[in-house]
Amino acid sequence: MAAKLGSGTRNKLYRTTWLALLALTVVMLLVDRSSLPRVAFLAVVLVAMLMKASLIGANFMHLRWERLPLTLMVIVGLLVTGAILFGLIAPDAVRISAMRP
């Protein structure tokens, strides 16, 4: 269905997506400078990052117009990769915090 979009429609979609990504980035920077409690800061940043990843996947990776199995394959692959990376990095985080005096 992506091929059926006209050039103007496609450009508008990309422009809107880029502006949304820019706005989310600005929100994340403003939240970083604010004095929010740690839990609220993490919640806002995680939600913003998930929204940015969804926008990028849907519009720039063209997953919005793909069939469900391909979309699920990409999403599951990303989640598994994230879990593996977390599993490899988390033990170092625990070890480093234990090394501090």
pLDDT at residue 4 above 80? no
Answer yes or no: pTM beyond 0.85. no
Task: Evaluate whether 56 touches 91 at the Cβ level (below 8 Å).
Answer: no
Domain boundaries, the chain: 1-65, 67-101
pLDDT at residue 2 above 60? no
Tell me which amino acid residue 24 is. L
Instruction: Kindly indicate the confidence band of residue 101, based on its pLDDT and cuts at 50, 70 and 90.
Output: low
- d(CA 93, CA 97) in angstroms, rounded, equals 6
